[in-house]
Amino acid sequence: MIKLENQPCPMCGKRTLTLTESEDNIPYFGKIYVFSMICSNCKYKKADVEAAEKKEPCKYTLEVSGEKDMSIKIVKSSAATVKLPRVMTIEPGPASQGYITNVEGLLNRVKDAIQIAINSEEDKENIKKERRLLKKINRVIWGSEKQKIIIEDPTGNSAIISDKAVKSKLK
């Protein structure tokens, strides 16, 4: 692991940023690099994942159908779009993060985003809809409801590591 401390933060300008780069090997995917920036002053953070070898643009589709699927590993780069049909689409952008997680971790990130939306929402109908989405995600986590997860990555640096996942070319 490479670690550089006391670097200038792009947000607050103080020399309180720590840069790290580490290497990992993901079965059935290959060698990856994980990059992160964390500022101890303003709490700015940014992370990304890159495959060591150039990959083709890809699309992964997974039908989550039970509790056992919660442990399926997901590699998501900052360039990837994550889609949960009829729930949410997470588009890449300047604040997009790359990460390695599992299905349950991804669903918990979605729950957190919905909760943030509820907390800032004023329209009672929208709050009801968002609470229904939270309940749906909980049912998926508990294994009582199915949910499709789609990851589209033009860089090819993302994957769903499972025999259940269907990999196809990104159009």
Q: What pLDDT, on the 0 to 100 scale, is given for residue 93? A: 84
Q: What pLDDT, on the 0 to 100 scale, is given for residue 171? A: 81
Quick one: 45 and 60 in the same domain? Answer: no
53-81: burial string, b at 16+ Cβ within 10 Å, e else? eebeebbbbbebeeeebbebbbbbbbbbb
Q: How far apart are CA 120 and CA 56, in angstroms?
A: 39
Please give the biggest Cα pair distance in the chain. Answer: 49
Q: Which domain holds residue 117?
A: 54-171
CATH number of the domain at 28, please.
2.20.25
Quick one: 30 and 79 in the same domain? Answer: no
85-123 per-position pLDDT tens digit? 999 999 998 888 999 999 999 999 999 999 999 999 999
Quick one: 156 and 73 in the same domain? Answer: yes
End-to-end CA distance of the chain: 36
Quick one: 110 and 47 in the same domain? Answer: no
136-147 per-position pLDDT tens digit? 999 999 999 999
Quick one: 111 and 147 in the same domain? Answer: yes
Q: Are 47 and 98 in contact (CB under 8 A)?
A: yes
Quick one: 101 and 88 in the same domain? Answer: yes
Domain count for the chain:
2
Quick one: 124 and 90 in the same domain? Answer: yes
19-37 per-position pLDDT tens digit? 999 999 988 889 999 999 9
